[in-house]
Structure 1
Amino acid sequence: MEKSLLVLCLILFFTYSYVSANYYPPKALVSTVSKNTILPIFTFTLNTNQEFFIHIGGPYLVRKCNDGLPRPIVPCGSPVCALTRRVTPHQCSLPSNKIINGVCACQATAFEPFQRICNSDQFTYGDLSISSLNPISPSVTINNVYYLCIPQPFLVDFPPGVFGLAGLAPTALATWNQLTRPRLGLEKKFALCLPSDENPLKKGAIYFGGGPYKLRNIDARSMLSYTRLITNPRKLNNYFLGLKGISVNGNRILFAPNAFAFDRNGDGGVTLSTIFPFTMLRSDIYRVFTEAFSQATSGIPRVSSTTPFEFCLSTTTNFQVPRIDLELADGVIWKLSPANAMKKVSDDVACLAFVNGGDAAAQAVMIGIHQMENTLVEFDVGRSAFGFSSSLGLVSASCGDFQTRP
């Protein structure tokens, strides 16, 4: 009996050692983030050298598959295939499944947001590796990660080296959810710091599974304020925030009642995007907001608009940007720094970095890339919470100062 127990303990020990060395990082999974100069996209690295576009509204991982090799089949009647149907991008129709070698193989659909096209192909699975902050195991391989395998011409206009699209939506098949499996001991969350400088040497960071988010000598989790993530049952692929109001120079703007609320079709609300370069406001909100901003900058000369902006100012004299605050649920305030509120378009012109989304905009507010740059944001899906820091520039730091190596 004692001998059998000893053998069992040894088996468990070696099994645990194998899992620890290869799969169990005590810290987060991590990658550097690069800002592309061709398209307004950010990428991070999987499988050592494959760049994936960060799309927080994408329901799953999408990979280019141009080698013609057979892939493992996800059966049509499986729970995984049913999940793909539930989160098919609303811009696309449900695909028809196919018979491969006599087996019904699950087909799924991805929406390419720049060409605005839908493409369907085989949903399959394989192994992925990503860096870890664990010095014992600086690279972690995760088996049987589900992804949509799409050949060209999908993503054909993406820059060279971009291998696919990493969907980070609040869905069961999202990339973050598959990388933070229970056996890894990681939390159901991911964090982003998007670099603001187009210099390719300037990098950001993405973390999967929690912190610490080491920014020089501090853990940047201490810098985060939190608000609730709101579920919209009609838009399962998006993260929504509760926005109560917007202030300019401390003066709260008077909007129409329920201006930021969902309507009966699930439209409206306030969401975030790594697709849109600048925050989009529905026309009724945009008009009131820019009028308040115009009054607050009445002493600064206006200049001609520059696409896509409508409100631009001269920076040559008396240029001081009024403070813009987003009042979120529970009274939490997201204070936008001047660098996040304005976009410098020339040596002597800066424009308000908010754009008119039109009367029929799907959301009341779509918080875009520029407003999130050089800011640490955390999507704590397990707790339905969204965390955000102030601009790192206010503490003389940048996204490139985060630790991304053991």
Structure 2
Amino acid sequence: MKKCIFLCLLLFSIYTYVSAHYNPPKTLVSTVTKNTILPLFTFTLNTNEEYFINIGGPYIVRNCNDGLSRPIFPCGSATCALTRRLNPHQCLPPQNTIINGSCACQATAFEPFQRLCNSNQFTYGDFSISSLNPKSPSVTFNDVNYLCVPTPFLKDFPPGVFGVLGLAPTALAAWNQLTPPRLGLEKKFALCLPSDENPMNKGAIYFGGGPYKLKNIDARSMLSYTRLIKNPRKLNNYFLGLKGIAVNGKRILLAQNAFNFDGNGNGGVALSTTSPFTTLRSDIYKVFIEAFSKATLDIPRANGTTPLEFCLKSTTNFQVPRIDLELADGKIWKVFAANSMKKVSADVACLAFVDGGNAPEQAVVIGMYQMENTLMEFDVGRFAFGFSSSLSLVNASCGDFQTQP
């Protein structure tokens, strides 16, 4: 009996100590910056390493041009097999190599700006990220899987960009590795990409769910949710179900299957943080431009500028019709002037939608300009996508999010 009492007291003491000294992180968070050299957004890992955000990247890619040896994944491992399934469809499968007498897994990264493929060692190591918990302002994760690439592969990236943060709906993506169940974090991430209207403006990236504190409110209340669509031929992309596009409240006339996938997985409506503007297949673009042109007949025209073709004379009271992306489950992504018109000079603004040609990979690619100054939540656990309207409608911006404990 005494032994039992002693054991219970010991267990209670251990539990009390752990409860008092273990401070699980709340939401993991980092500031997002828009680069002025390439159209990309970056955030910080490991205190001072900047990573380019790519929601279509299957895993983390890290600069490893230091000559250090790193642990390997055996060629026959489940992790190596998974990298083959997630190999970028633009690239050939890699060939494995021998390191210290053992077969070491190689994986491939795709660099979207120069459209280059590069294969190298798939490995693992430690990564740290900041937290909103003041008692645990930084959290370190051990054995995070990543692709180790040499410097030449990232040579065209702006100075200070250390790697690529892959956030695709894949098991090896950063959102999954930085939200382990033992910490009670949800399998989701949220993005608010800053607008370039203010070069000093910052954005935010969150891992593990909210709250997303915007001034004095939790911005989760501003989100509308739609389901994400799975495409077995394109595992590394997020797709939305789109049933129509409206200009000034009137849906444009398109073929009934305009947004469908074909048998090769092409078509559909994808989200991208590597496409500067929303891209429409030519048949969709033509009808869309005609509708927008009719809705803006009272605004003087201006010459186009590559790649933006439809431009208007801008005035102090510049107003254009709203563009509605009508989603398959009845939700509407409302695109106002701040996200539809790109200022190119003091008195000219261009429609930030581009012609993607007759046979692009996707029917529509929703690009970065339409995402800026908007909160987006990728709830990968439920395969749902949450989105707000432009934060400017509530006199706020991405820079107003709390990113410090």
SS at match of 1:350: strand
Shift of 1:317: 8.6
In structure 1, distance between residues paired with 2:138 and 2:353:
40
Cα deviation, residue 151, structure 1: 1.0
Shift of 1:216: 0.3
| C-alpha deviation, 1:202, in angstroms | 1.3
- The match for 1:93 is 92
- Residue 4 of structure 1 corresponds to 7
Match of 2:376 in 1: 377
Mapped to 2, the partners of 1:30 and 1:281 lie a distance apart of 33
> Could you tell me whether the CA contact under 8 Å between 1:300 and 1:318 is conserved in 2?
no
**Alignment match, 1:157:** 156
Q: How many Å apart are 1:320 and its aligned residue?
A: 2.4
Q: What is the CA-CA distance between 1:201 and the residue it aligns to? A: 2.3
TM superposition shift of 1:5? 3.8
Q: Which residue of 1 aligns with 2:101?
A: 102
In the alignment, does 2:76 pair up with 1:77? yes
Is contact 1:300-1:317 (8 Å) kept?
no
1:167 is matched with: 166
CA distance in 2, matches of 1:318, 1:36: 29
State the 1:12 CA deviation. 4.9
Deviations along 1:308-333, one digit per CA (max 9) or x if unpaired, are 11111112498420111110121101
User: What code does the residue aligned with 1:46 have?
Assistant: L
The offset of 1:147, in angstroms, is 0.3
Q: Is the 8 A contact 1:269 1:364 kept in 2?
A: yes
What RMSD over aligned residues (CA atoms) do the two structures have, in Å? Answer: 1.4
Q: Which residue of 1 aligns with 2:58?
A: 59
> For 1:4 and 1:340, how far apart are their aligned partners in 2?
63
Kindly tell me: are residues 254 and 156 of structure 1, through their superposed partners in 2, closer, same or farther at Cα, counting changes over 3 Å? Answer: same
TM-score (norm 1): 0.96
Question: Cα–Cα, structure 1 residues 153 and 398, in superposed 2: closer, same or farther, change >3 Å?
Answer: same
Cα shift at 1:36: 0.3
Rounded to whole Å, the distance in 2 between the matches of 1:271 and 1:325 is 16
Take 2:59 and 2:33, find their aligned partners in 1: how far apart are those partners?
Answer: 20
Render the CA deviation track for 1:198-256: whole Å, top value 9, x for unaligned: 64421000000000000000000000000010100000000000001011111111101
Query: Contact (CA 8 Å) 1:299, 1:318: kept in 2 or not?
Result: no
> 1:34–1:200: 8 Å Cα contact kept in structure 2?
no
Aligned-partner residue type, residue 275 of structure 1: T
Task: State the one-letter code of the partner of 1:115.
Answer: Q
- Give 1:5-404 correspondences, 5 Å limit: 5-14=8-17, 20-21=22-23, 24-25=24-25, 27-197=26-196, 199-316=198-315, 319-404=318-403
Instruction: Give, in whole Å, the separation in 1 of the partners of 2:231 and 2:20.
Output: 42
Q: Contact between 1:35 and 1:198, CA under 8 Å: does it hold in 2?
A: no
- CA distance 1:12–1:319, shift in 2 (3 Å): closer
Change (3 A) 1:100 1:348: same
Where does structure 2 lack aligned partners over 5 or more consecutive residues?
none
SS at match of 2:81: helix
Deviation at 1:4, TM superposition (A): 3.3
Give the superposition deviation at 1:299. Answer: 1.6
* Mapped partners of 1:351, 1:212: distance in 2: 36
Partners in 1 of 2:223 and 2:119 — Cα distance?
A: 39
Once the two structures are superposed, what CA deviation does each residue of 1:156-186 show, in whole Å capped at 9, x if it has no partner?
1111111100000000000111001111110
Q: Is the 8 A contact 1:53 1:162 kept in 2?
A: yes
Identity of aligned residues (%): 76
Label 1:9 to 1:122 Cα distance change in 2 as closer, same or farther (>3 A). Answer: farther
User: Structure 2 vs 1, CA of residues 61 and 7 (structure 1 numbering), >3 Å: closer, same or farther?
Assistant: same
* Deviations 1:376-400, CA, capped at 9 Å, x for gaps: 0010011111000010000000000
In the alignment, is the contact (CA less than 8 A) between 1:33 and 1:203 conserved in 2?
yes
On the 8 A contact 1:235/1:266 being kept in 2, the answer is: yes
Q: Distance in 2 between matches of 1:95 and 1:237?
A: 17
Distance 2:233 2:16 in 1: 47
- For residues 391 and 122 of structure 1, the distance between their equivalents in structure 2, rounded to whole angstroms, comes to 41
Residues 136 and 244 of structure 1: is their aligned pair in 2 closer, same or farther, counting only changes over 3 Å? same
Judged with a 3 Å threshold, the aligned counterparts in structure 2 of structure 1 residues 14 and 81 are, in CA distance, closer, same or farther, namely farther
TM-aligned CA deviation for residue 7 of structure 1: 3.5
Q: How many equivalent pairs are there?
A: 402
> Structure 1 residues 317 and 180 mapped into 2: Cα distance closer, same or farther (>3 Å)?
closer
Q: Is the 8 A contact 2:34 2:42 kept in 1?
A: yes
Moved more, 361-370 or 200-209: 200-209
Moved >3 Å (runs of 4+): 4-18, 316-319
Q: What is the alpha-carbon distance in structure 1 between the residues aligned to residue 140 and residue 311 of structure 2?
A: 49
Q: Which amino acid aligns with 2:358?
A: D
Aligned 8 A contact 2:267 2:364 in 1: yes
What secondary structure does 2:153 align onto?
coil
Q: Distance in 2 between matches of 1:238 and 1:169?
A: 6
SS at match of 1:330: coil
Q: What is the distance in 1 between the residues matched to 2:65 and 2:18?
A: 37
Asked if structure 1 preserves the Cα contact closer than 8 Å seen for 2:267 and 2:362, the reply is yes
Q: How far is 1:80 from its partner?
A: 0.8
The separation in 1 between residues aligned to 2:317 and 2:34, in whole angstroms, is: 32
CA distance in 1, matches of 2:294, 2:354: 18
Deviations 1:56-111 (A, max 9, x none): 00000000001111101111111111111110000111111111111111110000
